Structure 1
Amino acid sequence: MIRLFSILLLLGFSSACFAETYEIVQEDDGLTVHYDGKLLTRYLIKSGAKPILYPLLGPDGLPMTRRYPIESVGESERDDHPHHRSVWFTHGNVNGTDFWLEKEGVGGQIIHEKFEKVTDGENAQIVSLNRWETPEGKVLCRDRRSITFGQDEGRQYFDFDITVTAGDEPVTFGDTKEGAFGIRVPGTMKVDAKKGGTIVNDSGQKNKDAWGKKSSWVDYYGPVKDKTVGITIMNHPSSYGYPTYWHVRTYGLFAANPFGIHDFVGKNVESGDHTIEPGKSMNLRYRVLLHEGTTEDANITAAFARYEKVKK
């Protein structure tokens, strides 16, 4: 091995060629993802009632999501909404079953079935298959979620692409604000901490004004320890409901939801219900970018312009 490494060095390869790639290791409870030898995230196959990503580490290894309820409450955090578990995908009304809240015996469960594909190296990807079960054990639908890791001008991102497929019966994702692709930001980053946390969308609407609005992206930035960092969620043009509505709150919830029209717009509009016919599918596609500085510092408008050109 040492001799091989020496030969590669002579051929012009450096140690960076080996270190600066993704490594994904399977554990009993899921997968651990490292980049350049440092922890980036973990894919947990079950936390509460669903698979999640936790922790999610950004610039300088700073935590980019809330600790609670996976770990003890962190700085400026509250022990509210225990179903807000770091990074997740669920919905509050699927054929009448609530997969968003975690009420024992009442809510649904998203159950990991298997990893279809796990690829590390430069083109790292996790593909998992999951089923959505009612409290009675009836399977309403299945999903295939693909998480692809990459770099945008040296900044970490992952693309979260999910395909939900109906079985033998129609599946309706109901009109409710409680959904769907969600992140809970660190306590110090939230707007309500009054430490500089800020929400910005593609129209320049900020904080409370960004809630319930359509936008191709939303950025949530603020301090973590002694550094200003941010998380951007971008919605790909090929995604159902693009540009999505946003259930983004000053207390730290950050969710893309194309279904909750009555909550976001008002009752005197067409319902946001979306029905997937038997054997058919719905595709939802997002990019999560982890960056330093403010929205302007990170030039999120340009970052989205690069993302929207990605063929899906």
Structure 2
Amino acid sequence: MADRFILADDPIALPKGAWAKTERRTLRRGSQPVFSLTQGRHRPYLFPVYTPLGFAVTSECPADHPHHNSFWIASDHVDCWMPAAAGRKEQYTYNFYVDETFQGRAPGRILQTNASGEETPGGGYRITQTMEWRGPVEWAALEGRLAAREQRLLDLKTIEGAYVIDVESRLSAAEWDLSLGPTRHAYFNLRVAESIAVTSGGRVRDDRGHSGGEAVSGSGARWVHYNGPVGGGHWAGLALFPDPRDHRDPYWFVSDWGVVTVGPFRLEKRDIRQGETMALRYRVILHDGDLAADAIAAHYASYLASLS
């Protein structure tokens, strides 16, 4: 079928005896690429990310923030509470947001250990990824301490003029308790293509009618929409909806130069005990055209209806 989704490797010819530390697999609808699962040196992410008409709407590793990886999940201020002598616990602090030491926290890596895909009813497609959040190489931890395990679900469907991606991240403590935050550098992130950024002629706004990164940032918004010119007179964009069941008062960091971050633990940390799992969910709309605020509001209303 011409519209069937297929997830396949992107082979790279290397000299004999050479291998790559990173990999990329692309989801296609027929012959049209939708997005690629990319395992970078420090984390897995989606890039490139396309609209149904084939316009790329995100940016990978921009020069100003090379740790901004298109469509990704990460967190700064990750603490492992390690068993110590006499029943005490010691705090080991890591950073899974920036790929170098950041605010005194050593950088960890998020490594995809498995990814599989399957068609879903109604012509959709689900990708299931398993991942390990590992701290840096250090004394007594040559592979990096296993801070957390994550299962990430990506559910894709098509609607008129747009792709809809539902993201669910299930983060579990490994062999010790875990804390995330408080931080604004977490949890779900988008870095839009340069042409869409406000600084290049695009627009960013929220459900309250606020425009511009400074006005949108902070608490209060239920959704954020970024769109702009993508060439040849065309416009395209993306909208981000955090699940209100997980984000009663989401905290946003949005900039005119193109980053959108939203998470639930800006002001207080989130503890994950051994045996517990934290689930955070988001919907992303990747659309063609210059959609008005009422069109995004209708998409959001449809999202809320699907949760009931």
TM-score grouping bracket, smaller chain normalisation: 0.7 to 0.9
Moved beyond 6 Å, runs of 4+: none
Give 2:106's aligned residue: 106
* SS of 1:48 mapped into structure 2: coil
Query: How far apart, in 2, do the equivalents of 1:58 and 1:184 lie?
Result: 15
Is the 1:219–1:295 contact (alpha carbons within 8 Å) kept by the matching residues of 2?
A: no
Q: Secondary structure of 2:292's partner?
A: helix
Amino acid at match of 1:92: D
Separation (CA, whole Å) in 2 of partners of 1:243 and 1:234: 12
**Letter aligned with residue 220 of structure 1:** Y
Aligned equivalent of 1:222: 228
Equivalent residues in 2 for 1:200-219, closer than 5 Å: 200-207=205-212, 208-219=214-225
Question: Which consecutive residues of structure 2, in runs of 5 or more, have no partner in the other structure?
Answer: 12-22, 80-92, 139-143
Instruction: Determine which of 21, 34, 41 is the counterpart of 2:35.
Output: 41
Who is 1:161 aligned against?
Answer: 168
1:309 aligns with 2:297: no
Shift of 1:48: 3.1
After superposition, where does 1:226-237 map in structure 2 within 5 Å?
226-237=233-244
Which blocks of at least 5 consecutive residues in structure 1 are unaligned? 1-17, 70-77, 262-271
Counterpart in 2 of 1:51? 44
- Deviation digits for residues 39-95 of structure 1, max 9, x if unmatched? 111101x213100111001142111111x43xxxxxxxx611100011110101111
- Deviation, 1:220, is 0.7
Amino acid at match of 1:124: Y
Provide the TM-score with structure 1 as the length reference: 0.81
Distance in 2 between residues matched to 1:144 and 1:214, nearest whole Å: 29
Q: CA RMSD in A?
A: 2.0
Q: Distance in 2 between matches of 1:297 and 1:205?
A: 11
In the alignment, the residues of structure 1 paired with residue 2 and residue 276 of structure 2 have an alpha-carbon distance, to the nearest angstrom, of: 42
Stretch deviating more after TM superposition (21-30 or 274-283): 21-30
* Counterpart residue identity of residue 131, structure 1: E
**Of 98-107 and 81-90, the range deviating more from structure 2:** 98-107
Q: Letter of the aligned partner of 1:128 in structure 2?
A: Q
Give the distance between the partners of 1:152 and 1:295, measured in 2 at CA. Answer: 14
Identity %: 25
**1: CA distance between counterparts of 2:248 and 2:170?**
15
- For 1:245-264, what aligned pairs fall within 5 Å after superposition? 245-261=251-267
Cα distance in 2 for partners of 1:84, 1:126 equals 22
Distance of aligned partners of 1:86 and 1:108 in 2 relative to their CA distance in 1, 3 Å threshold? same
CA contact (8 A) 2:124 2:158 kept: no
Deviation at 1:167, TM superposition (A): 2.1
Q: Which has the higher strand share?
A: 2
Which letter maps to 1:91?
Answer: S
